[in-house]
């Protein structure tokens, strides 16, 4: 019998991940100063990529880690967006504060909806979330002050007259509409970094370990005292918050809302699912790879209308059947590289052997 | 007598929802698979019937005799070659693959038939014909839909409990490994079950397409109605599914009678209320 010596320790860091932290900081700093060098078109593309990444990361936490396959996340995108619109158009709150409020509103909405959908298991949970999204959409379509079924636009000056937008406009020497794009892009970048940081930090905590344990063997995890119900609630609530923030931010930039667009299952759930599945479900790297692939495909196939979704759907099915861990899974299996390691590794000691203890 | 009329219309509409739901219920009962493309397969079958009716000049009731075997084949091949690969303890693969399939079918139909609304012509007289039942008069087509739903449920129950195939279904559902030892090949049994579900889907498509307009994007909403009917009825109970369909149908017609914008919402609210007070449905049988 080998007694563990002090030189053994449990680590989650790998060499690749330590290098990656440096690279990530460089990428984020480059992202922050980018508006000085790139045009509006590219700014909008990056905004799209970043917001889809946030939605993908939060869906990935929900489905890939907590096993809660939702096809109703558009409920929180739309509700966040509508809350932001109500705050700005009806109550005169400034759009940036309204985004934060929208996040809390989406989290608040998830309490009653969770109460219903957690009564359903597995696949029925999925369709239950969809029903909830439909109910929220149909209810908000009755809100005549926000345009009912046809929707409405943000008051024209709402974002342009913000002090920070004026400041950005002067600092970069650009017109106010361009300055709004810079602001929303920055917010998207901050949101993406915070969302990924939050998810990564969460997965490295004891609760995150508990989540992985439930995924691998829920009975054994329960026997060790992991409270699956509470953890799933926590994930459902926090992803609703992040999704609501992203929804509100997207519609600050779009500045026009309608129930059909804000609660679109294609835009806010189907795309997100394909991003995560193609990139690699159950990893943080997966959605990042997925969103880039998705963006390239979208640009390549932009002129082909419904062929685009058709091809995306087929790729999604093929990946799920033959490479269920996605592109990142294929890459990581061959190279062993992990940028966001959450697996506990027993390291050090007298021998160089390493064993997994995830 | 406007309310009585509304409720009768709702009950008959419930027959259509029960038809949507019967195939879903059958597949779930045998292999614990929830097919998110179910609604889109109904729409696919409706387009198939439409093509047969418009190009060959067949009556829709003759056209389904051609469409049903084709859809059986589609279901059999889909299950045998694609969906069987997804079965297992992990719920992700079947959900994500059938969700992908739903998007693929929708967009393939959009590409082939455009987004225009269509309707299957049922032959002038039948569409408008109605019969007097005491105080209310009901359309022949809605009545036929409801009677077909009952016939489908009776037929499925007969297959389940009075044939060798049904015995294979029940055995595989209980324990696929032991069923395999008895000479049953679960993969083929599952394929046959999905094939039969597609025949039910074709019947549902006939009434979907002749009663109202349809276009390639309406599948997911039909899936949701079917799902609500299944949950309200209680998993595994076919008669419960009919009851669930009727509840959704009545809630929708009553909601629409109060305010046309509330039609769909009223159906969903009825579903949520049942979920709140009877989370296992009205006639629960299965344990999951």
Please check the confidence at residue A342 and state whether its pLDDT lies above 80: no
Cα angle A184, A190, A195; round to 5: 120
Distance between CA B222 and CA B45 in Å, rounded?
13
Put simply, the answer to whether A316 touches B93 (Cβ < 8 Å) is no
**Helix, strand, coil shares, percent, chain B, to 5:** 75, 5, 20
Structural domains of chain A, with CATH: 8-356 (1.10.3470)
Two structure tokens written together for B233 = 């009825």
Share of chain A above pLDDT 70, in %: 95
Mean pLDDT over B257-274 rounds to 90
Mean pLDDT over B187-202 rounds to 94
* Residue B288: per-residue pLDDT: 45
Tell me which chain B residues have a C-beta less than 8 angstroms from the C-beta of A321.
82, 85-86, 93, 97
* Residue A356: per-residue pLDDT: 46
Distance between CA A273 and CA A264 in Å, rounded?
13
Q: What is the pLDDT of residues B203-231, one digit of tens each?
A: 999 999 998 899 999 999 999 999 999 98
Distance between CA A73 and CA A71 in Å, rounded?
6
Distance from CA of B171 to the nearest CA of A (A): 23
| Chain Cα centroid distance, residue A299 | 21
Interface of B with A in 184-243 (CB under 8 A): 220, 223-224, 227-228, 231
Nearest CA in chain B to A322: B85
Distance from CA of B269 to the nearest CA of A (A): 8
The winner for highest mean pLDDT among A3-7, B139-143, B241-245 is B241-245
Q: Is B273 on the interface with A (CB under 8 A)?
A: no
Please check the confidence at residue A352 and state whether its pLDDT lies above 50: no
* Residue A354: per-residue pLDDT: 45
Mean pLDDT over A141-158 rounds to 84
Q: What is the pLDDT of residues A7-56, one digit of tens each?
A: 777 777 777 777 888 888 999 999 888 888 888 889 999 999 999 999 99
Cα angle A253, A256, A257; round to 5: 115
**Mean residue pLDDT across chain A:** 87
| CB neighbour class for B63 (10 Å; exposed up to 12, middle 13-18, buried from 19) | buried
Check: CB of residue A58 under 8 Å from CB of residue A242.
Answer: yes
Distance between CA A83 and CA A78 in Å, rounded?
8
Beta bridge pairs of residue A197: none
**Mean residue pLDDT across chain B:** 89
Two structure tokens written together for A105 = 């509103």
* Residue A166: per-residue pLDDT: 84
Check: CB of residue B267 under 8 Å from CB of residue B21.
Answer: no
* Residue B285: per-residue pLDDT: 67
Mean pLDDT over A171-181 rounds to 86
* Residue A3: per-residue pLDDT: 54
Using N-to-C axis directions, what is the helix angle for A122-140 and B219-233, rounded to 10°? 120
Please check the confidence at residue B20 and state whether its pLDDT lies above 70: yes
Share of chain A above pLDDT 90, in %: 46
The matching CATH number, chosen from 1.20.1440, 2.60.40, 1.20.1250, 1.10.3470, for B2-114+137-277 is: 1.10.3470
Check: CB of residue A247 under 8 Å from CB of residue A79.
Answer: yes
Mean pLDDT over B77-106 rounds to 91
Q: Is A100 on the interface with B (CB under 8 A)?
A: no
DSSP B33: -
Cβ atoms < 10 Å from Cβ of A262: 28
Please check the confidence at residue A335 and state whether its pLDDT lies above 80: yes
Q: What is the pLDDT of residues A240-258, one digit of tens each?
A: 999 999 999 999 999 899 9
* Residue A286: per-residue pLDDT: 93
Q: List, in sequence order, every beta strand (DSSP E) within chain B.
A: 130-133, 136-139
* Residue A271: per-residue pLDDT: 92
Tokens 């009553």 label which residue? B254
Beta A345-348 vs B130-133: how paired, if at all?
unpaired
Higher pLDDT, B135 or A326: A326
Please check the confidence at residue B154 and state whether its pLDDT lies above 50: yes
Mean pLDDT over A96-124 rounds to 92
Distance between CA A163 and CA B9 in Å, rounded?
59
Put simply, the answer to whether B103 touches A266 (Cβ < 8 Å) is yes
Please check the confidence at residue A349 and state whether its pLDDT lies above 80: no
* Residue A6: per-residue pLDDT: 60
A54-63, A283-292, A333-342, A345-354: least confidently modelled range: A345-354
Share of chain B above pLDDT 70, in %: 98
Q: Is A67 on the interface with B (CB under 8 A)?
A: yes
Which residue ranges make up each domain of chain B?
2-114+137-277
Interface of B with A in 107-166 (CB under 8 A): 107-108, 110-111
Please check the confidence at residue A123 and state whether its pLDDT lies above 90: no
Mean pLDDT over A349-355 rounds to 50
* Residue B235: per-residue pLDDT: 77
**Helix, strand, coil shares, percent, chain A, to 5:** 75, 5, 25
ipTM confidence score: 0.87
Check: CB of residue B249 under 8 Å from CB of residue B10.
Answer: yes
Q: Please give the model's pTM, rounded to 2 decimal places.
A: 0.89
């Amino acid at each position: 019998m080998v007694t563990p010596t002090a030189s053994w320790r449990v680590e989650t860091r790998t060499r690749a991940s330590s290098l990656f932290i440096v690279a990530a900081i460089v990428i984020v700093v480059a992202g922050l100063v980018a508006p000085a060098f790139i045009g509006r078109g590219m700014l909008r593309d990056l905004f799209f990529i970043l917001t889809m990444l946030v939605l993908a990361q939060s869906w990935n936490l929900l489905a890939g880690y907590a096993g809660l396959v939702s096809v109703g996340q558009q409920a929180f995108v739309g509700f966040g967006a509508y809350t932001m619109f109500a705050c700005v158009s009806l109550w005169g709150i400034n759009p940036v504060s309204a985004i934060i409020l929208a996040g809390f509103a989406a989290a608040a909405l998830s309490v009653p909806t969770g109460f219903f959908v957690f009564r359903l298991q597995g696949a029925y949970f999925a369709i239950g979330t969809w029903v909830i999204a439909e109910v929220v959409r149909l209810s908000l379509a009755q809100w005549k002050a926000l345009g009912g079924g046809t929707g409405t636009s943000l008051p024209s000056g709402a974002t342009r007259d913000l002090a920070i937008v004026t400041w950005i406009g002067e600092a970069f020497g650009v017109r106010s509409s361009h300055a709004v794009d810079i602001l929303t892009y920055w917010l998207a970048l901050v949101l993406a970094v915070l969302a990924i940081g939050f998810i990564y930090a969460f997965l490295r905590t004891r609760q995150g370990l508990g989540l992985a344990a439930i995924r691998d063997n829920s009975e054994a995890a329960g026997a060790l005292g992991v409270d699956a119900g509470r953890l799933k609630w926590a994930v459902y609530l926090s992803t609703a918050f992040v999704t609501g923030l992203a929804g509100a931010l997207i519609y600050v930039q779009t500045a026009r809302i309608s129930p059909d667009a804000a609660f679109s299952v294609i835009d806010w759930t189907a795309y997100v699912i394909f991003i995560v599945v193609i990139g690699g479900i159950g990893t943080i790297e997966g959605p990042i790879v997925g969103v880039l692939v998705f963006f390239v495909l979208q640009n390549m196939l932009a002129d082909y209308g419904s062929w685009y979704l058709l091809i995306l759907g087929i790729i999604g099915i093929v990946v799920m059947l033959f490479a269920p861990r996605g592109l990142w899974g294929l890459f990581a299996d061959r190279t062993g590289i992990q940028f966001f390691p959450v697996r506990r590794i027993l390291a050090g000691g007298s021998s160089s052997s390493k064993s997994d203890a995830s | 007598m406007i309310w009585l009329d509304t409720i009768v219309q709702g009950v008959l509409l419930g027959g259509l929802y029960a038809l949507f739901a019967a195939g879903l219920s059958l597949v779930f009962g045998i292999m614990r698979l929830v097919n998110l493309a179910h609604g889109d397969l109904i729409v696919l079958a409706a387009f198939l019937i439409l093509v047969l009716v418009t190009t060959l000049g067949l009556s829709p009731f003759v056209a389904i005799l051609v469409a049903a075997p084709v859809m059986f084949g589609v279901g059999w091949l889909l299950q045998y070659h694609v969906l069987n690969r997804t079965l297992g303890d992990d719920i992700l693969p079947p959900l994500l693959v059938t969700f992908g399939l739903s998007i693929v079918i929708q967009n393939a139909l959009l590409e082939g038939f455009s987004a225009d609304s269509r309707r299957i012509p049922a032959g002038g007289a039948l569409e408008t014909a109605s019969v007097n039942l005491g105080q209310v008069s009901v359309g022949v087509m809605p009545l036929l839909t409801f009677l077909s739903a009952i016939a489908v449920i009776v037929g499925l129950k007969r297959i389940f409990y009075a044939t060798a195939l049904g015995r294979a279904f029940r055995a595989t559902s209980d324990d696929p490994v032991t069923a395999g030892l008895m000479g049953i090949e679960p993969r083929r049994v599952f394929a046959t079950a999905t094939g039969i579900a597609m025949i039910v889907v074709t019947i549902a498509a006939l009434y979907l397409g002749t009663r109202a307009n349809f276009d390639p994007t309406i599948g997911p909403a039909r899936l949701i109605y079917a799902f609500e009917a299944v949950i309200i009825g209680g998993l595994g109970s076919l008669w419960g599914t009919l009851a669930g369909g009727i509840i959704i149908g009545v809630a929708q017609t009553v909601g629409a009678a109060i305010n046309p914008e509330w039609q769909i919402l009223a159906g969903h609210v009825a579903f949520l209320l049942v979920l709140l007070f009877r989370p296992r449905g009205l006639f629960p049988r299965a344990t999951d």
